[in-house]
Amino acid sequence: MRRVVAQGTFDLLHPGHVHYLSDAAAMGEELHVIIARSGNVTHKEPPVVPDEQRREMVAALKPVDEAHLGHPEDIFVPIERIDPDIIALGYDQHHDEQRLQAALGERGIDCEIRRASALDRNDPDRLLSTGRIIDRILAERSD
């Protein structure tokens, strides 16, 4: 059985998240998702939704077999525990695949890294990022 790991912040769930996780699930037979803890999110604004609530929401999605909170100090701990065959990255996630592969190798984790496909972003009304959702809420609800 091919085990796949996907990971992300998953702050406000949107169609881009569902597409990513569906794509990741199609890469194997079992999908585990690691949800980043708020304290570990440094590449963008911190999440609005609490850690455990984000984990619960991701766990409820059909493509997901198991959802895990990331480790507070070492992002590789859950990957070592899950022992995936594939790590599926979102098509626009900030990870450098070569650096990630090297770091996995240093930890003795032997798995393939793949990128999920892009979802059509041409429709301006389609909210495919948490930032766009927040911007829309602020624009439509501010006094």
Annotated binding-site members for ATP: 9-10, 14-17, 92
First and final CA of the chain: distance in angstroms? 53
Residue type, 10: F
Binding residues, as ranges, are: 9-10, 14-17, 92
Cα–Cα distance measured from residue 53 to residue 37, given in angstroms and rounded to the nearest whole number? 11
Cα–Cα distance measured from residue 58 to residue 126, given in angstroms and rounded to the nearest whole number? 20
Contact 128, 16 (CB under 8 A): yes
